[in-house]
Structure 1
Amino acid sequence: MDFPVTLVSLAGAVALLLWGTHMVQTGVQRAFGPKLRAALGAALKNRLLAFFAGMGVTAAVQSSTATGLMAAGFVAGGFVDLVPALAVMLGANVGTTLIVQLFSFDVSAFSPALVLVGVMMFRRGSNPVTHDLGRVFIGFGLMLLALHQLLELTAPYEDAPSLRLLLGAVSTVPLLAVLLTAAATFAMHSSVAVVLLVMSLAARGVVPPEAAFAMILGANLGTAINPVLEGPSGNDPSLRRLPVGNLLNRAIGVAIGLALLHPISVLMVTLEPDNARAAANFHTFFNLALAAVFFPLLTPYAALLRRLMPTRIDPADPSRPLYLDNSARETPIVALGAAAREALRLVDALEAMLNGAIDALVQGDRKQIAGMKRLDDILDRLNTAIKAYLATLDHDELSQTDHRRMAEILAFATNMEQAGDVVDRSLLPHAAKRAKRGLSLPKASEAEIKTLMDRLIANLRAAAALLMTEDPRAARLLAAEKAAFRDAESAATRAHFEDMRMGRLGAIETSALYLDLLRDMKLINSHIVAAAAYPVLERTGDLLPSRLATNGD
């Protein structure tokens, strides 16, 4: 076979290996992604559990990058500390070696059976999980097939002078082998595929064991680069502590591995004469050794990362929490006060959204819509930060009153965020539709819209005051505001159907738009009332469990 043809075949086999790895990853993530993420999040409270969770999740999804991105998301959201997250990454690095260990044995004969079973599950399975697991089986079968092809394609060129010259240069300069495979792993987004490829080359004797071990060091380094570039973005360096910490301990391990490469190579080959198995064992040994060295040092290592990459709070960024003091967590009453103060910032953001909505609705200002969407993002981030902060409090230290107060703050924050979603997903699209179609509401309707929006903002301010005072009288007044919006919606509904009955075509579209706007404002007001009034009225016994009339008997 001509060399160009063989080169294309090699490239095709590598592509098949990558595609098989991709199918395994996507199949597992689709079938068990939420459960794996939940399991990972639950295990992050303890570093030892976090280590094994990282190993298990990575063994399932076949991607330490995916596990790293999950853990980085938990850290960026403030849900977990940096120490257990670093333990997850140590476990994830070990997890990637498990599939390599399996494929280091001659299991290529199972490839057709795996593909057959996978196709049957994929085509015939009515259950989505069965369908996704079919992808996993097909992926494993393709990976085995690709490895078998790589072995066959490289066999005729074991003694090719040009290949021997290239590999001789790589073998004599281990650092070059590290850099080449690190770049290849970064480009392929899969250390598993690169390590399996190196194992195939070592199995045929195309590369000597010491060069194969250097390449495996490069694969371990390259796979740590992707989470740094693809992790949480932003101007805050603290968001990159986890991926950078993982990259640094990998780099330290690679540097030590290079320094001790020759004696380690002699030891590994002595223990396992089979070059492919020796490469797989070295991959596992390297990651286990790295975990054993860094696991006891995670606390000071995390402190060093915090010092090197301190939290940067941009005062101009309104989505950054200002009052969630970590030092106050030891005193629940102080921490709850800080959370309540932060929740008031949700009111400020929602009020700004409502004011912008007035301009968009009454004046037809379409420029306001983009700004309102940014405010909704601020609401989402602040709400997440408040919940994460409260979740870190020691619930055993909270009294019954503290638990009730925490529930009230959580309900307030959730309803404020949901009210913002109504503005973003319903109210603003209606305003955009009005501007796009050139619909003109009657003057009376515009005045009514503005009046109700002003009333909505007044209710929002009352809710903010009620969160702090918890006054039952103010709660009853706020709850009574639901009647005003309910009456306005009923009157608009009757008017709209009257327009339809009379056949006033020009009025039907505007009355429908007016009715939609009123319904959106009614829903926003319901969230405002539920945020502050209902918890107080429920505590005082003034809130009925149902509006349904009860029988006299």
Structure 2
Amino acid sequence: MKHLLNLLAAVALLVWGTYLVRTGILRVFGGNLRQVLARSIDTRPAAAMAGLGVTALVQSSTATALIVSSFVGQGLVALPTALAVMLGADVGTSLMTVVFSFDLSWLSPLFIFVGVVLFITRQATPLGRFGRVLIGLGLMLLALRLVSESTAIMVKSPAVQALLLTLSSDILLEITVGAVLAVIAYSSLAIVLLTATLAASGAIPLDVALGLTLGANLGSGLLGVLATAKSSVEVRQVPIGNLVFKIVGVIMAAPFAAFWIRTLKPYLPEPATVVVLYHLVFNVLIALIFLAFTHIVARWVEQWLPKPDRNMVAGRPHHLDPSALATPSLAISNAAREALHQADIVETMLLGMLRVIKDNDLRLAEELRRMDDTVDQLYSAIKYYLTKISREALGEEESKRWTDIISFTINMEQIGDIIERVLLDIEDKKIKKGRNFSDAGMAEICELHARLVDNLRLGMSVFLNGSVRDAQKLLEEKARFRDLERAYAGTHLTRLTENTVQSIETSSLHLDLISDLKRINSHICSIAYPILDSAGALSPTRFRQVLPEEPSRAL
């Protein structure tokens, strides 16, 4: 029982080490990895090479699948190209399996010691996060040594030998067991390494090890499908296409497992070497065979999972993909895109508000007020999504972006509430009472509204690009808008002294309206503050400093 617990603990340590390496790499290079993939997938061969390189770093084809799937969901990458990336990703994982199959246990103490020192002393820096990667590598190497030692003892037990012999009778059973283990461990890399170690110690026959390896490959394809099960159709298409490659590849390779053993065993006496090379050759051949047919598989997948009609604004897909939460940089990007979706709806409400004022359109006013419910729902969904992202997993820049998104969505939600109240006032005080603004008053409202729309679009650009120059321009617009609002309030009071009938009837509504427009503009301009603060371009105080020679005024 003790030796079984030791083996299970070693397997758990192997899985945990793989997780530390994968998440650590994503935290250090997450944004750069996404850029590499985005820039390197012009052709299918280039896409495959990009997938190979990224996955060799991340050590998880599932993580690569989530990143590429998000590109397809955003419309940035065509499905055939994304499938080519996944073929390369599987080769990248198998290459790392070959590397870890060598006896590198002597590096384990060094990696763990250096990693812990870096992680503790520089935890909030990229160097500290790299220390996390070193800890994971050290734990993986240590776990492989512990697995080897534990199985060497357990294999001598008659009961264990009898149990393992049951696997040698059915390759379908071996494939099934390998797939289930890969799904449970959330890593085909860990299961193939475990299988190679068990084969090297004599715990399982070589033919059983190859069957488990095929199953681990199938399990990695299932992992991507399960991880994106609740995502949009476009996101789910990539893992399903990759699973098709896996299924066809396993069907083609399974009958030739015995041939592989007969051919290579005389030249490769180490069973572990046979296993990892089998894993590598399997994925290389699948990539070479299917790279020319990704467009055909993509067409099949699109027929199985057709994209829904998304012509209406309310039918636009949401980007809060739960499967991306394991990749903080990707989850932050998804939240930012959803925040822009929320801003698009606010812009629609703002544009429609002027039409209601001009045309007295009650039906449009009701539609716009219903849209505020959508804005509120998006705010709640984005906020909840962001709270599920581990703040400890975020780097400094990602933490700032997290805060920026929260601030942006709060401002959009409050703008939506203000527009809803304005529409209610227009209905009650203008449309239902049959009143109209004077020509001069309407011209002032149109001028303020036009500036407001321009500022909102500029604010969305600032949020998206983080341009300090645009943020400064947006902040300057706040002062201009405030001065314009005061000037128009003064001209309105002048019209009242001239006893203009329309101005008298709508005086309260007019003043409330331009005040509400100023409040909306203040929320828009608030988008600039985090950008300027991060760049050190924000003045510590907005109060005018009194010059020494300027005499103070007694109150």
> Normalising by structure 1, what TM-score?
0.64
Give CA deviations for 1:172-215 in whole Å, capped at 9, x if unaligned.
11111111110111121111111111111011011111110100
Q: 1:157 aligns with which of 154, 159, 173?
A: 154
Question: CA 1:219–1:525 in 2, change beyond 3 Å: closer, same or farther?
Answer: closer
Q: Which residue of 2 aligns with 1:522?
A: 521
Q: 1:302 aligns with which of 298, 305, 311?
A: 298
Q: Which residue of 2 aligns with 1:173?
A: 170
Amino acid at match of 2:28: A
| TM-superposed deviation, 1:303 | 2.8
Question: CA 1:95–1:19 in 2, change beyond 3 Å: closer, same or farther?
Answer: same
SS in 2 for 1:207: coil
Question: CA 1:370–1:17 in 2, change beyond 3 Å: closer, same or farther?
Answer: farther
| TM-superposed deviation, 1:282 | 0.6
| TM-superposed deviation, 1:345 | 8.5
Question: CA 1:47–1:523 in 2, change beyond 3 Å: closer, same or farther?
Answer: farther
In the alignment, is residue 424 of structure 1 matched against residue 412 of structure 2?
Answer: yes
In the alignment, is residue 48 of structure 1 matched against residue 51 of structure 2?
Answer: no
* Partner Cα separation in structure 2 for residue 62 and residue 150 of structure 1: 20
Question: CA 1:420–1:62 in 2, change beyond 3 Å: closer, same or farther?
Answer: closer
SS in 1 for 2:266: helix
How high is the sequence identity, in percent, across the aligned residues? 33
Q: 2:89 aligns with which of 69, 76, 92?
A: 92
In the alignment, is residue 271 of structure 1 matched against residue 267 of structure 2?
Answer: yes
Structure 2: runs of 5+ lacking an equivalent: 318-342, 357-361, 363-368, 383-404, 421-428, 430-436, 458-476, 490-511, 527-555
* Partner Cα separation in structure 2 for residue 227 and residue 161 of structure 1: 38
| TM-superposed deviation, 1:373 | 3.1
Q: 1:75 aligns with which of 48, 72, 76?
A: 72
Q: Which residue of 1 aligns with 2:287?
A: 291
* Partner Cα separation in structure 1 for residue 451 and residue 381 of structure 2: 18
Q: Which residue of 1 aligns with 2:375?
A: 372
Matches within 5 A, 1:299-378: 299-313=295-309, 318-320=314-316, 348=348, 350-351=350-351, 370-374=373-377
Give CA deviations for 1:504-531 in whole Å, capped at 9, x if unaligned.
xxxxxxxxx999965541257889xxxx
Q: Which residue of 1 aligns with 2:225?
A: 228
Contact 1:83 1:302 in 2 (8 A): yes
Q: Which moved more, 1:517-526 or 1:59-68?
A: 517-526
SS in 1 for 2:306: coil
Question: CA 1:347–1:161 in 2, change beyond 3 Å: closer, same or farther?
Answer: same
Amino acid at match of 1:272: L
* Partner Cα separation in structure 1 for residue 292 and residue 374 of structure 2: 48
| TM-superposed deviation, 1:103 | 1.6
Q: How many residues align?
A: 410
* Partner Cα separation in structure 1 for residue 118 and residue 486 of structure 2: 52
Q: Which residue of 1 aligns with 2:331?
A: none
Amino acid at match of 2:66: L
Structure 1: runs of 5+ lacking an equivalent: 322-342, 360-365, 380-416, 433-442, 444-449, 468-479, 493-512, 528-553
Question: CA 1:525–1:64 in 2, change beyond 3 Å: closer, same or farther?
Answer: closer
Q: 1:111 aligns with which of 108, 111, 114?
A: 108
Amino acid at match of 1:371: T
Amino acid at match of 2:92: G
* Partner Cα separation in structure 2 for residue 320 and residue 351 of structure 1: 19
Amino acid at match of 1:255: I
Contact 2:346 2:416 in 1 (8 A): no
| TM-superposed deviation, 1:83 | 1.7
Contact 1:48 1:87 in 2 (8 A): yes
* Partner Cα separation in structure 2 for residue 516 and residue 347 of structure 1: 19
* Partner Cα separation in structure 2 for residue 516 and residue 31 of structure 1: 46
Question: CA 1:320–1:194 in 2, change beyond 3 Å: closer, same or farther?
Answer: same
Q: Which residue of 1 aligns with 2:118?
A: 121
* Partner Cα separation in structure 2 for residue 10 and residue 288 of structure 1: 31
* Partner Cα separation in structure 2 for residue 430 and residue 313 of structure 1: 32
Q: 1:17 aligns with which of 10, 14, 17?
A: 14
* Partner Cα separation in structure 2 for residue 350 and residue 253 of structure 1: 54
Contact 1:232 1:239 in 2 (8 A): no
Contact 1:55 1:88 in 2 (8 A): yes
Amino acid at match of 1:424: M
* Partner Cα separation in structure 2 for residue 39 and residue 425 of structure 1: 35
SS in 1 for 2:274: helix
* Partner Cα separation in structure 1 for residue 310 and residue 380 of structure 2: 16
* Partner Cα separation in structure 2 for residue 313 and residue 378 of structure 1: 22
* Partner Cα separation in structure 2 for residue 89 and residue 268 of structure 1: 28
* Partner Cα separation in structure 2 for residue 58 and residue 481 of structure 1: 47
Contact 2:349 2:419 in 1 (8 A): no
Amino acid at match of 2:520: M
Give CA deviations for 1:289-346 in whole Å, capped at 9, x if unaligned.
100110122233323333333322156663449xxxxxxxxxxxxxxxxxxxxx9988
* Partner Cα separation in structure 1 for residue 348 and residue 100 of structure 2: 57
SS in 2 for 1:45: coil
Question: CA 1:33–1:488 in 2, change beyond 3 Å: closer, same or farther?
Answer: same
Question: CA 1:369–1:315 in 2, change beyond 3 Å: closer, same or farther?
Answer: closer
Q: Which residue of 2 aligns with 1:532?
A: none
In the alignment, is residue 131 of structure 1 matched against residue 134 of structure 2?
Answer: no
In the alignment, is residue 258 of structure 1 matched against residue 248 of structure 2?
Answer: no
Q: Which residue of 1 aligns with 2:501?
A: none
* Partner Cα separation in structure 2 for residue 305 and residue 264 of structure 1: 32
Question: CA 1:44–1:212 in 2, change beyond 3 Å: closer, same or farther?
Answer: same
Contact 1:423 1:520 in 2 (8 A): no
Give CA deviations for 1:238-292 in whole Å, capped at 9, x if unaligned.
4422111100110111111112221122223233110011111011011001001
* Partner Cα separation in structure 2 for residue 268 and residue 516 of structure 1: 81
Amino acid at match of 1:223: S
Contact 2:79 2:298 in 1 (8 A): yes
Contact 1:45 1:80 in 2 (8 A): no
* Partner Cα separation in structure 2 for residue 300 and residue 490 of structure 1: 65
Q: Which residue of 2 aligns with 1:459?
A: 449
Contact 2:411 2:524 in 1 (8 A): no
| TM-superposed deviation, 1:354 | 9.8
Contact 2:478 2:521 in 1 (8 A): no
Question: CA 1:298–1:429 in 2, change beyond 3 Å: closer, same or farther?
Answer: same
Q: Which moved more, 1:29-38 or 1:159-168?
A: 159-168
